[in-house]
Amino acid sequence: MSGMQRQVVLRAYAKGNPRATDFAIEGAPVPEPGEREILLRTIYIALDPLIRFSLDETLISGASRMVPGEVMVGPTVSQVAASNHPDYAVGDYVEGRSGWREYNVVAPDRSDYRGPPRKLDPALAPVSTALGALGGPGQTAYEGVVNVGRLQAGETIVISAAAGAVGSIAGQIAKALGARAVGIAGGADKCRALRDLGFDATVDYKAPDFADQLKAALPEGADVYFENVGGDVTLAVLPLLNRGARMPMCGFIAYYGVGMEGPGPDHLPGFYRMIMNKGLEIKGFAGIFAGQKGLDAIAGWMNEGKVRFPESIVEGLEAAPEAFSSVFSGHEHIGKLLVRVAPETC
């Protein structure tokens, strides 16, 4: 297993939306696992939009900041390529955070904040779902819809970035709970894909009459707004929220590159007015996960065919920078965006 590998490093801090040129691909030695360590071979990398927070020179988020030259961070599914640890055998599949590289050595006993790499059973579900419906995005969707949003049967939920990994699962959870799900996504293809997943209605935010379409899709308003976006989409949604609506917020991709202040006018007064007039309840919950209960519920719905999990896979580590930057510029991918770095079986 000794030899060279490829890895993607941060070249320069992102300004505004990340560009492919902010990253560089370089060679590095494949590391050797020491005592009680394992060598992981990356199969899938999840291009998580939240990674954007780590790429900012003026860090104003809870993420840890990267330094140019470092290997890109991020969630991965890997296979154990060599093991000096009794709990892991060669060929085991694990979910971890190897980052954007082909190989990585991990010491399971010195676990990072999320614990040792989680072993996956490929007989239960495709291993890629560990980065989606049966991983962070699924738990985030469950937390937002069920625990924070407290969505009830018969209510209406509207979801921004509905074609993303979290949004597409959130809408299906809403349907499984007996609620009405309205998705906001960019482009006719994404909207069609969401209706195929069972969304009751979809609205294309790129359409010139977006606000009117949204109003027509919400004839009785919305009781929960699952917020992933911010910006113009949110300004169109707010007037349509019902009194006492809940607004679980797990992202705001329109503002990731903006910092604390965007160009005027100031929309905070209007936001306040909506919060107070409508008695809105807003809660940020990024990084708060629903836990095993949420995963079990989603796995059950998947077995019943009520939740399907769309993935968009780009091939090869070298495609990662371009694909990641496309996340911020209205890309055409549906569901979780993954990079396949190597085939699933060694």
Q: How many CA atoms lie within 13 A of 108 on its CB side?
A: 19
Binding mask 193-232 for a copy of itself (x = CB under 8 A): -------------------------------------x--
Cα distance between residue 144 and residue 166, in whole Å:
9
Minimum distance between the CB of residue 222 and a copy of itself, rounded to whole angstroms? 16
Of the two residues 62 and 343, which places its CB atom closer to a copy of itself in the complex? 62
91 and 145 Cβ atoms separated by less than 8 Å: no
Q: Based on CB atoms, which residue is closest to a copy of itself, 20 or 286?
A: 286
Give the distance between the most distant pair of CA atoms in the chain: 64
Query: At closest approach, how far in Å is the CB of 314 from a copy of itself?
Result: 27
Piece of 3-11, 31-39, 59-67, 115-123 that binds a copy of itself (CB under 8 A): 59-67
Instruction: Tell me which of 268, 305, 329, 343 binds a copy of itself, using CB under 8 A.
Output: 268
| CA atoms of 90 and 275, how far apart (whole Å) | 54
Nearest-approach distance from CB 92 to a copy of itself, in angstroms: 34
Asked if 191 and 208 count as a contact pair (C-beta separation under 8 A), the reply is no
CA distances from 248 to 141, 176, 282, 307 (A): 10, 18, 6, 20
Contacting residue, 103, 252, 301, 324, with a copy of itself by CB under 8 A: 252
What's the gap between Cα 39 and its chain centre?
26
3-state class of 130 per DSSP? helix
CA atoms within 13 A on the CB side of 288: 15
- Under rule CB under 8 A, residue 153 binds a copy of itself: no
Q: Does the protein bind a copy of itself through residue 280 (CB under 8 A)? A: yes
Query: Toward a copy of itself, which CB reaches closer, 201 or 280?
Result: 280
Among 31, 284, 322, 342, binds a copy of itself (CB under 8 A): 284
What is the closest distance, in whole angstroms, from the C-beta atom of residue 150 to a copy of itself in the complex? 13
- We find the least distance from the C-beta atom of residue 255 to a copy of itself, in angstroms, to be 4
Cis peptide before 265 (omega within 30 of 0): yes
Contact flag: residue 17 with a copy of itself (CB under 8 A) = no
- Look up residue 208 and give its DSSP letter: T
Residue with tokens 């990024």: 286
Please state the closest distance from residue 259 (CB atom) to a copy of itself, in A. Answer: 7
Range in contact with a copy of itself (rule: CB under 8 A) among 15-23, 182-190, 210-218, 263-271: 263-271
Q: Does 270 bind a copy of itself (CB under 8 A)?
A: yes
Specify the residue, 91 or 287, whose C-beta has the smaller distance to a copy of itself: 287
**116 interacts with a copy of itself by CB under 8 A:** no
Cα–Cα distance, 235 to 283 (Å, whole number):
17
The C-alpha atoms of residue 247 and residue 170 are separated, in whole angstroms, by 13
Based on the shown chain and the rule CB under 8 A, indicate whether residue 86 belongs to the binding site for a copy of itself: no
Q: Does 8 bind a copy of itself (CB under 8 A)?
A: no
Residue 55 sits in the site that holds a copy of itself (CB under 8 A): no
260 touches a copy of itself (CB under 8 A): yes
Smallest separation (angstroms) from a copy of itself to the CB of 289 = 12
SS (H, E, C) 23-43: EEEEEEECCCCCCCCEEEEEE
Q: Pick from 228, 180, 185: which is nearest to 203 by CA? A: 185
* Cα angle 252, 254, 260; round to 5: 75
Q: Which stretches of the chain bind a copy of itself, using CB under 8 A?
A: 60-62, 230, 249-252, 255, 258-273, 275-288
